[in-house]
Amino acid sequence: MASEKREQVAKKSSPISSIAERYATALFELAEDDKALNALENDVGRFATLHDQSDDLQAFIRSPIYTAEEQVRGIEAVLNQAQIGGTVGNFFKVVARNRRLFATPQIIAAFRELIAKRRGNVTAEVTSAEPLSEAHLAALKDALKASLGKDVTLDTRVDPSLIGGLIVKVGSRMIDSSLKTKLSSLKLAMKEVG
Protein backbone atom coordinates (compact mmCIF):
# COMPACT_ATOMS: atom_id res chain seq x y z
CA MET A 1 0.00 0.00 0.00
CA ALA A 2 2.83 2.41 0.86
CA SER A 3 4.67 1.56 -2.37
CA GLU A 4 1.47 2.25 -4.31
CA LYS A 5 1.26 5.73 -2.73
CA ARG A 6 4.94 6.39 -3.51
CA GLU A 7 4.31 5.35 -7.12
CA GLN A 8 1.36 7.75 -7.32
CA VAL A 9 3.41 10.62 -5.87
CA ALA A 10 6.20 9.83 -8.34
CA LYS A 11 3.73 9.83 -11.22
CA LYS A 12 2.20 13.12 -10.11
CA SER A 13 5.58 14.81 -9.79
CA SER A 14 7.18 13.36 -12.91
CA PRO A 15 8.18 15.80 -15.64
CA ILE A 16 5.87 14.10 -18.14
CA SER A 17 2.83 14.38 -15.87
CA SER A 18 3.48 18.07 -15.21
CA ILE A 19 3.83 18.70 -18.97
CA ALA A 20 0.65 16.72 -19.60
CA GLU A 21 -1.27 18.61 -16.92
CA ARG A 22 -0.19 21.99 -18.34
CA TYR A 23 -1.20 21.07 -21.88
CA ALA A 24 -4.47 19.44 -20.76
CA THR A 25 -5.35 22.51 -18.71
CA ALA A 26 -4.63 24.77 -21.68
CA LEU A 27 -6.91 22.69 -23.91
CA PHE A 28 -9.59 22.55 -21.21
CA GLU A 29 -9.52 26.33 -20.82
CA LEU A 30 -10.02 26.84 -24.56
CA ALA A 31 -13.62 25.71 -24.13
CA GLU A 32 -15.80 28.73 -23.45
CA ASP A 33 -18.85 26.73 -22.33
CA ASP A 34 -20.09 23.18 -21.80
CA LYS A 35 -21.14 22.82 -25.45
CA ALA A 36 -17.62 23.66 -26.64
CA LEU A 37 -16.18 21.36 -23.98
CA ASN A 38 -18.34 18.49 -25.27
CA ALA A 39 -17.06 19.10 -28.81
CA LEU A 40 -13.44 19.12 -27.58
CA GLU A 41 -14.04 15.95 -25.59
CA ASN A 42 -15.50 14.24 -28.66
CA ASP A 43 -12.53 15.17 -30.88
CA VAL A 44 -9.98 14.24 -28.21
CA GLY A 45 -11.79 10.91 -27.80
CA ARG A 46 -11.61 10.25 -31.53
CA PHE A 47 -7.88 11.02 -31.52
CA ALA A 48 -7.38 8.78 -28.45
CA THR A 49 -9.12 5.93 -30.27
CA LEU A 50 -6.84 6.40 -33.27
CA HIS A 51 -3.83 6.39 -30.95
CA ASP A 52 -4.94 3.28 -29.07
CA GLN A 53 -5.67 1.32 -32.25
CA SER A 54 -2.55 2.19 -34.24
CA ASP A 55 0.83 0.78 -33.30
CA ASP A 56 2.38 2.94 -36.04
CA LEU A 57 0.92 6.14 -34.57
CA GLN A 58 2.08 5.14 -31.09
CA ALA A 59 5.60 4.48 -32.38
CA PHE A 60 5.61 7.80 -34.27
CA ILE A 61 4.49 9.72 -31.18
CA ARG A 62 7.10 8.08 -28.94
CA SER A 63 10.00 8.32 -31.38
CA PRO A 64 12.58 11.05 -30.70
CA ILE A 65 14.17 10.76 -34.15
CA TYR A 66 11.71 12.99 -35.98
CA THR A 67 12.23 16.75 -36.21
CA ALA A 68 9.49 19.11 -35.06
CA GLU A 69 8.58 19.79 -38.69
CA GLU A 70 8.29 16.07 -39.43
CA GLN A 71 6.15 15.57 -36.34
CA VAL A 72 3.85 18.43 -37.35
CA ARG A 73 3.49 17.07 -40.90
CA GLY A 74 2.88 13.54 -39.61
CA ILE A 75 0.31 14.52 -37.01
CA GLU A 76 -1.35 16.86 -39.50
CA ALA A 77 -1.76 13.96 -41.94
CA VAL A 78 -3.32 11.81 -39.21
CA LEU A 79 -5.67 14.61 -38.13
CA ASN A 80 -6.72 15.34 -41.73
CA GLN A 81 -7.38 11.64 -42.39
CA ALA A 82 -9.54 11.45 -39.26
CA GLN A 83 -11.20 14.78 -40.07
CA ILE A 84 -10.20 16.24 -36.71
CA GLY A 85 -9.71 19.95 -37.12
CA GLY A 86 -10.55 23.11 -35.25
CA THR A 87 -9.26 23.58 -31.74
CA VAL A 88 -8.21 19.97 -31.15
CA GLY A 89 -6.43 19.71 -34.50
CA ASN A 90 -4.56 22.95 -33.86
CA PHE A 91 -3.81 21.86 -30.31
CA PHE A 92 -2.09 18.63 -31.38
CA LYS A 93 -0.14 20.52 -34.05
CA VAL A 94 1.16 22.86 -31.33
CA VAL A 95 2.04 19.83 -29.19
CA ALA A 96 4.00 18.44 -32.15
CA ARG A 97 5.66 21.78 -32.93
CA ASN A 98 6.79 21.97 -29.28
CA ARG A 99 8.12 18.39 -29.49
CA ARG A 100 5.80 17.12 -26.77
CA LEU A 101 4.01 14.38 -28.72
CA PHE A 102 5.56 11.78 -26.41
CA ALA A 103 3.24 13.06 -23.66
CA THR A 104 0.07 12.58 -25.75
CA PRO A 105 -1.38 9.64 -23.74
CA GLN A 106 -0.82 11.52 -20.48
CA ILE A 107 -2.29 14.73 -21.95
CA ILE A 108 -5.42 12.85 -23.01
CA ALA A 109 -5.76 11.22 -19.58
CA ALA A 110 -5.25 14.55 -17.77
CA PHE A 111 -7.80 16.25 -20.06
CA ARG A 112 -10.36 13.54 -19.36
CA GLU A 113 -9.69 13.86 -15.65
CA LEU A 114 -10.37 17.61 -15.79
CA ILE A 115 -13.66 17.01 -17.59
CA ALA A 116 -14.69 14.33 -15.10
CA LYS A 117 -13.83 16.60 -12.20
CA ARG A 118 -15.91 19.44 -13.68
CA ARG A 119 -18.90 17.12 -14.03
CA GLY A 120 -18.45 15.61 -10.57
CA ASN A 121 -17.53 12.26 -12.10
CA VAL A 122 -14.77 9.83 -11.33
CA THR A 123 -12.51 8.48 -14.07
CA ALA A 124 -11.77 4.75 -14.12
CA GLU A 125 -8.91 3.42 -16.23
CA VAL A 126 -9.99 0.08 -17.67
CA THR A 127 -7.52 -2.22 -19.42
CA SER A 128 -8.84 -5.33 -21.12
CA ALA A 129 -7.40 -8.04 -23.34
CA GLU A 130 -9.93 -7.24 -26.10
CA PRO A 131 -12.16 -4.25 -26.81
CA LEU A 132 -15.23 -4.31 -24.56
CA SER A 133 -18.71 -4.30 -26.08
CA GLU A 134 -21.12 -1.45 -25.33
CA ALA A 135 -23.11 -3.82 -23.09
CA HIS A 136 -20.01 -4.73 -21.07
CA LEU A 137 -19.01 -1.06 -20.76
CA ALA A 138 -22.50 -0.13 -19.56
CA ALA A 139 -22.51 -2.97 -17.01
CA LEU A 140 -19.06 -1.98 -15.75
CA LYS A 141 -20.14 1.68 -15.45
CA ASP A 142 -23.23 0.66 -13.49
CA ALA A 143 -21.23 -1.57 -11.14
CA LEU A 144 -18.65 1.15 -10.49
CA LYS A 145 -21.35 3.79 -9.97
CA ALA A 146 -23.06 1.53 -7.40
CA SER A 147 -19.74 0.91 -5.66
CA LEU A 148 -18.45 4.51 -5.68
CA GLY A 149 -21.70 6.44 -5.48
CA LYS A 150 -20.63 8.73 -8.33
CA ASP A 151 -20.98 8.78 -12.09
CA VAL A 152 -18.01 7.11 -13.72
CA THR A 153 -16.20 7.99 -16.94
CA LEU A 154 -14.33 5.05 -18.44
CA ASP A 155 -10.90 5.49 -20.03
CA THR A 156 -10.44 2.20 -21.88
CA ARG A 157 -7.30 0.58 -23.23
CA VAL A 158 -6.61 -2.77 -24.85
CA ASP A 159 -3.61 -4.88 -23.82
CA PRO A 160 -3.63 -8.36 -25.44
CA SER A 161 -0.90 -9.53 -23.05
CA LEU A 162 -3.55 -9.72 -20.29
CA ILE A 163 -4.94 -12.83 -22.07
CA GLY A 164 -8.35 -12.19 -20.48
CA GLY A 165 -10.03 -10.35 -17.62
CA LEU A 166 -9.76 -6.70 -16.64
CA ILE A 167 -7.66 -4.23 -14.74
CA VAL A 168 -9.73 -1.36 -13.35
CA LYS A 169 -8.03 1.57 -11.67
CA VAL A 170 -9.96 4.34 -9.93
CA GLY A 171 -7.65 6.85 -8.26
CA SER A 172 -5.27 4.82 -6.10
CA ARG A 173 -7.54 1.75 -6.02
CA MET A 174 -6.77 -1.01 -8.48
CA ILE A 175 -8.76 -4.15 -9.16
CA ASP A 176 -6.74 -6.64 -11.18
CA SER A 177 -8.74 -9.64 -12.37
CA SER A 178 -6.58 -10.34 -15.42
CA LEU A 179 -5.60 -13.89 -16.30
CA LYS A 180 -1.99 -12.75 -16.69
CA THR A 181 -1.84 -11.74 -13.01
CA LYS A 182 -3.68 -14.86 -11.87
CA LEU A 183 -1.28 -17.08 -13.84
CA SER A 184 1.71 -15.23 -12.40
CA SER A 185 0.35 -15.70 -8.87
CA LEU A 186 -0.24 -19.39 -9.53
CA LYS A 187 3.28 -19.78 -10.94
CA LEU A 188 4.74 -18.09 -7.83
CA ALA A 189 2.65 -20.28 -5.52
CA MET A 190 3.81 -23.41 -7.34
CA LYS A 191 7.46 -22.36 -6.98
CA GLU A 192 6.98 -21.90 -3.21
CA VAL A 193 5.41 -25.35 -2.85
CA GLY A 194 8.02 -27.14 -4.99
Average pLDDT over residues 10-14: 51
Residues whose CB falls within 8 Å of the CB of residue 151, separated by 6 or more in sequence, listed in order: 119, 120, 121, 122, 145
The residue that leads in pLDDT, 85 or 13, is 85
How far apart CA 117 and CA 115 sit, in angstroms, is 5
Tell whether the model's pLDDT for residue 131 goes beyond 90: no
* Topology of the domain covering 121-194: Glutaredoxin (3.40.30)
User: What rounded mean pLDDT belongs to the chain?
Assistant: 85
> Which among 114, 125, 110, 112 has a CA at the least distance from the CA of 18?
110
pTM of the predicted model, to two decimals?
A: 0.68
pLDDT tens digit sequence for 18-58: 899 999 999 999 887 778 899 999 999 999 989 988 999 99
pLDDT-derived band at 157 (thresholds 50, 70, 90) equals confident
> What class, spelled out in words, does domain 1-119 have in CATH?
mainly alpha
Domains of the chain, residue spans: 1-119, 121-194
Domains 1-119 and 121-194 are alike in CATH topology: no
